[in-house]
Amino acid sequence: MAPSRARECKADGVTASSGRGDDRGLTVRVKKKSKLKESSRQWLQRQLNDPYVRRSKIDGYRSRAAYKLIEIDDRYKLLRKGMRIVDLGAAPGGWCQVAVERTSASAAEAHVVGIDYLPVDPIPGATILELDFLDESAPARLIEALGGDPDIVLSDMAAPTTGHRRTDHLRTMHLCEVAADFAIRTLKPGGHFLTKTFQGGTEGELLAMLKRNFRSVHHVKPPASREGSVELYLLAKGFRGAAKAGPDGAEEDDEEAGPLG
What pLDDT is recorded for position 33?
55
More confident residue, 44 or 141: 141
Q: Which of 57, 81, 196, 237 is catalytic?
A: 196
Q: How confident is the model at residue 250 (pLDDT cuts 50, 70, 90)?
A: low
Mean pLDDT of the chain: 79
**Least confidently predicted of 64-68, 127-131, 149-153, 170-174:** 170-174
pTM of the model: 0.77
What pLDDT is recorded for position 75?
96
pLDDT in tens, 88-129: 999 999 999 999 999 987 777 889 999 999 999 999 999 999
What pLDDT is recorded for position 46?
55
Q: Is 144 exposed, middle or buried (0-12, 13-18, 19+ CB in 10 A)?
A: exposed
What pLDDT is recorded for position 136?
96
- Of 18-22, 109-113, 179-183, highest mean pLDDT: 179-183
Share of the chain above pLDDT 70, in %: 72
**Least confidently predicted of 17-21, 88-92, 158-162:** 17-21
Q: Which CATH superfamily is domain 66-239 in?
A: Vaccinia Virus protein VP39 (3.40.50.150)
- Average pLDDT (161-173) is 77
Backbone Cα Rg of the chain = 20
Share of the chain above pLDDT 90, in %: 52
User: CATH 3.40.50.150 region(s) of the chain?
Assistant: 66-239
More confident residue, 164 or 117: 117
- Of 104-113, 151-160, 246-255, highest mean pLDDT: 151-160
For residue 45, pLDDT beyond 70 = no
Residue-wise burial string across 71-82, b where 16 or more C-beta atoms lie within 10 A, e elsewhere: bbbeeeebbeee
Position 207, amino acid: L
**196 catalytic, yes or no?**
yes
Position 32, amino acid: K
What pLDDT is recorded for position 34?
55
What pLDDT is recorded for position 191?
98
pLDDT in tens, 73-92: 999 999 999 999 999 999 99
What pLDDT is recorded for position 42?
46
